[in-house]
């Protein structure tokens, strides 16, 4: 009655949804038009409401005020963005490498593979961010190491869970086929397991890339070095300079988008067969 549940998609609420096939054929412009209208209209409405005094500026500053602050602080935003971005990037790479290697190790053992997914999923539900103050104690609170460690712990779980899921999922016909070719364990892994797991790995990496930026920004709320976007947001907000705080939030959003776009691009490059459906 219903189509088979797309296992990769069901586990991945952040995947880009392209519903139906018509969007591509409708052309770039027509697909872009409704969101553009909504975006511009929304911004205009927001500006109008704030200007008309229906919402106090401390609750929601006008977009024009935020933009003004963004432009004024652009060099600071750039520098702090680089610092936060570096934390997110280093943590992302470290967490992803550990996650992928861990998943490969866990998939070698049936029991370990079966048990570690629910356990990792449970650990993933914990507010890992709250580790930040403890890590500040354990390392130097004046270095970026504690933040990078937080990022890599946050990143580890989605990468590990998705990779392991991908490695465990093997089409039974593929197994029979490779048996009929008398293919050995390593050949099977190389030709079937790894390519089959690739979409799952990239799903994990895409989720992780967004989480990495979020963790890097939020880890700064817990004190420590004051060189990133997150610390600027808190300091601006505590000085009630709300438009400036919003401007740094916008900077953080741009950083998040860059990470997401890069990981999405890599995914498209590495798994061409999924794009061409």
Partner 1 sequence: MTAVALSGVGKVFNAGRADQVVALTGVDLTVDSGQFVSLIGPSGCGKSTLLRLVADLIQPTSGTLTVAGKPARKARLDQEYGIAFQQAGLFEWRTVLRNVELPLELRGTGRRERKRRAEEMLELVGLADFTGHYPAQLSGGMQQRVAIARALAVHPLLLLMDEPFGALDEMTRERLQDELLRICAQTGTSTIFVTHSIPEAVYLSDRVVVMSPRPGRITDVIEIDLGPRSEATRQSAGFFAGITKVRRALRGTPAPTSSSPSASSSASAEVTAS
Partner 2 sequence: MTRRLRVVLGALAALLLGALLWEGYKAVGSDNGASLFGVRVLPRADDSAMPHVLDILKRFGQPELAGGDPIWLVVLDACLFTLRSVAVGFGVGALIGLLLAIVMQRFRVVERGLLPYVILSQTVPLIALAPVIAGWGGKLSLGSYPWQPWMSVATIAAYLAFFPVAVGMLRGLHSPAAIAEELMHSYAAGWWRTLVKLRLPASTPYLFPALRLAGAAAVVGAVVGEISTGTRGGIGRLVIEYSREATGDPAKVYTAMIGAALLGLAVAALVGAAEFLLNRRRRVLV
Which positions lie near partner 1, rule CB under 8 A? 171, 173-174, 176-177, 179-183, 187, 191-192, 195-196, 198, 271-274, 276-277
Q: Which C-beta is closer to partner 1: that of 54 or that of 277?
A: 277
Site string for partner 2, 49-68 (x = CB under 8 A): -------x-xx---------
Q: Which of 48, 71, 109, 140 binds partner 2 (CB under 8 A)?
A: 140
23 or 274: whose CB is closer to partner 1? 274
Query: What does 273 interact with, of partner 2, partner 1, none (CB < 5 to 8 A by kind)?
Result: partner 1
- Among 27-35, 162-170, 191-199, 267-275, which window interacts with partner 2 (CB under 8 A)? 27-35
Count of residues binding partner 2 (CB under 8 A)? Answer: 76
Answer for the pair 236, 61: CB distance below 8 angstroms, yes or no. no
Go through the chain and tell me how many residues it has: 277
Angle (CA) 249 253 255, round 5°: 115
Determine the Cα–Cα distance for residues 70 and 251; give it in Å rounded to an integer.
8
Is the separation of the CB atoms in 148 and 91 below 8 Å?
yes
Q: Which of 221, 262, 265, 269 binds partner 2 (CB under 8 A)?
A: 221
Which of residues 67 and 188 has its CB atom nearest to partner 1 in the complex? 188
Q: How far apart are CA 115 and CA 99, in angstroms?
A: 16
Minimum distance of partner 2 from residue 198's CB (angstroms): 21
Instruction: Pick between residue 14 and residue 187 the one whose CB is nearest to partner 2.
Output: 14
Could you give the C-alpha distances from 102 to 17, 51, 148, 219, in angstroms and in order? 29, 54, 19, 25
- Which of the listed partners (partner 1, partner 2, none) does 191 bind, with a CB threshold of 5 to 8 Å by partner kind? partner 1
Distance of alpha carbon 139 from alpha carbon 146, whole angstroms: 6
Residue 230 within binding range of partner 2, rule CB under 8 A? yes
Which string of DSSP letters, residue by residue, matches 10-37? HT-TTSPP--SSHHHHH-HHHHHHHHHH
Residue 229 phi, psi (nearest 5): -65, -40
Q: How far is the CB of 198 from partner 1 (least distance, A)?
A: 7
- How far apart are the C-alpha atoms of 100 and 102, rounded to whole Å? 5
234 is an interface residue for partner 2 by CB under 8 A: yes
């Amino acid at each position: 009655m219903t189509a088979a549940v797309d296992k990769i998609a069901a586990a991945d609420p952040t995947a880009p949804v392209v519903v139906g096939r018509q969007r591509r054929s409708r052309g770039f412009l027509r697909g872009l038009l409704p969101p553009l209208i909504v975006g511009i209209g929304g911004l205009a409405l927001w500006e109008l409401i704030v200007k008309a005094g229906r919402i106090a500026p401390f609750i929601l500053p006008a977009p024009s005020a935020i933009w003004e602050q963004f432009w004024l602080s652009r060099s600071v935003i750039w520098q702090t963005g680089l610092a936060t971005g570096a934390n997110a990037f280093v943590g992302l790479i470290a967490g992803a490498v550990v996650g992928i290697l861990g998943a490969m190790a866990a998939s070698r053992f049936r029991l370990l593979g079966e048990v570690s997914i629910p356990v990792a999923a449970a650990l993933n539900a914990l507010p890992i961010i709250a580790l930040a103050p403890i890590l500040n104690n354990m390392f130097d609170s004046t270095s970026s190491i504690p933040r990078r460690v937080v990022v890599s712990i946050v990143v580890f779980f989605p990468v590990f869970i998705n990779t392991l899921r991908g490695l465990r999922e093997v089409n039974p016909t593929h197994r029979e086929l490779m048996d009929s070719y008398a293919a050995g364990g390593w050949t099977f892994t190389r030709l079937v397991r790894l390519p089959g797991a690739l979409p799952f790995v990239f799903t994990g990496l895409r989720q992780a890339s967004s989480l990495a930026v979020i963790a890097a920004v939020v880890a700064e709320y817990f004190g420590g070095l004051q060189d990133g976007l997150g610390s600027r947001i808190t300091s601006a907000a505590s000085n009630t300079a709300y438009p400036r705080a919003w401007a740094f939030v916008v900077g953080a959003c741009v950083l998040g988008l860059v990470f997401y776009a890069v990981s999405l691009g890599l995914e498209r490059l590495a798994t061409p067969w999924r794009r061409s459906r």
